[in-house]
Structure 1
Amino acid sequence: MHSLKNIALSLLDLVAVRENGTVAEALQIALRTAQHAEALGFKRYWLAEHHNLAGVASSATAVLVGYVVGGTQRIRVGSGGVMLPNHAPLVVAEAFGTLAELYPGRIDLGLGRAPGTDPLTMRALRRDRIEREEDFPRDVAELQHLLAPAEPGQRLVAMPGAGTQVPIWLLGSSLFSARLAAQRGLPYAFASHFAPRLLHQALELYRQEFRPSPALARPYVIIGVPLIAAPTDEEAQFLASSTYQRVLGILTGQRGRLPPPVAHYLEQLHPQERAAIQDFLAAAVIGSPETVRQGFAALAESTQADEFMLVCDVFDAPLRLRALDIAAQAMT
């Protein structure tokens, strides 16, 4: 059996802006949450890049990484991820290279190939650049080169960046990034917190095709796990209704700020809506301490993951911290 004690816990934050809350409050909550996760012994705290979404304040990802890493002592802080099609590799190398010089040994660079936004915003970010499938592998290779020690006569040098060798992670919810991570010998994070359908297939492919590299000797897998924990299953389901409302908003194109919980929310929905939410959250662990422990154990057994990257959006910020306490306890 895959022991929970061998699995690291981490947290992915979209920096949710709450209904009747402000962006400034969301940013302050993110830092307090990172400090709490660090005190609990979490391994890393990642921030996701999204744009033009009313309820998400993590668009300037590198800036936020700097804010969080500066307000913590030991926890690794990084991007989960930077959406590489939106940026020139040199700009990413300079930003994360600067962070690595300021906070050596604490910065992660997770890379995704989705735009993380809508077509209108995509055009605003990239101007007229059209992304092709072969661009992402090439951009990843360019980033690896820019973060490696500069070679004699190298004309394009990331300054800062060169020689920092910031660890690169590939993120994805399809088989494309799983295969690329395997080929390059890079660690891999699967986005099962919102797209769990191909989870087992992607992990199997990654492990089968993995080639050791200077960065990594053997496969290393993170899986995204939506978490809502509370003293009782009933309270956890009540608190999870904020997430259920948000997911339904994503599925119906009505994204907004993180809403407060609603009693018996799922029961009020059409069966199709309920099923769609449950598909989206198929990897979620929601419940009491014992339910959480069992949920984690089942995920560990089925995925053999090295690390759980929790996504925990509870409307009441102190109750979110309590959920992390329950998660940490479940792993012991």
Structure 2
Amino acid sequence: MLLSSADVNHTAFRPGTFLLVGIPGLEKFHLWISLPFFSMYIFALLGNLVLLFTIVREQSLHKPMYLFLSALTVADLLLSTTTVPRMLAIFWFRVRDISFGACLAQMFLVHFIFVAESGILVGMAFDRYVAICNPLRYVTLLTHSVIWRIELAAIVRSLFLVFTALFLLLRLSYCRNRVIPHSYCEHMGVARLACTSIKVNVVYGLTAALLSLGIDIVFIAVSYGLILRAVFQLPSAGARRKAMSTCTSHLCIILLFYVPMFFSFFTHRFGGHSIPRHVHILLACLYVVVPPMLNPIIYGVNNKQIRETVMSMLSWMGSRRN
């Protein structure tokens, strides 16, 4: 059937659907790959829901550190739920079609959550800085209104950056190639399907990442530099250990968030063909499920107050059943 010129132009500019490959090169292993992903997703859901319910229910946990942690928990739930069910649909049922609008929506959510979560980690670093370096003013500096403002600033910044990326994708004209060699939609994966130049998208993606996540890392590093200086000035080794123990969980989550992300980011752009494509995609897939799974475990194991609250809740539920 012949298409009119208007239809051709419309098709080129806004494709009806894209095709998500999953993990290119490992298609015959998709079923086996899906099993650990499904298990990690279930653990992530259960762990984050239990953690969030514990913080909301327990009045003694309505403190700045735990309010930031609850925001991080919500972000982890959204991130894994936005991506993993679509991956499993590809792995199990070969449901690879995704509409243009749904793909952009997924791209928007994934990048929005990434940037917002980075801002939350900065807020958590500021919380630890005030708690250790200026403990007498902790209650007056980190009021609930200040915490909400920090979290709102993280959301607004993320919305601005990701809306700009979305606009840059909408301005492109797309070719007949609709195949995205990935398990979920992300900015550069969609941009590479365009017929027109994507130089602006490449420059913006790199600049936005460095100016948002890069600046966040600088703020976190400065905060922990000041924390370490204050800790080393404490008179006893016991006091130094106690002060640093309050930062252990946050430091683990920072490393879990930034190290794989920047490794994937820079190797994807500058690694050339030295690292196979399926390794890049597999790392990107693990990144959206492993940190959400491990974050509740890290805080549950290292934080005595959360651990005791969860244990008391489980004991209460067991006594109710009996």
Q: Normalising by structure 2, report the TM-score.
A: 0.25
Q: Higher helix fraction: Structure 1 or Structure 2?
A: 2
Q: Normalising by structure 1, report the TM-score.
A: 0.25
Bigger RCO of structures 1 and 2 (CA < 8 A, at least 6 apart): 2
Indicate the structure (1 or 2) with the bigger Cα radius of gyration.
Answer: 2
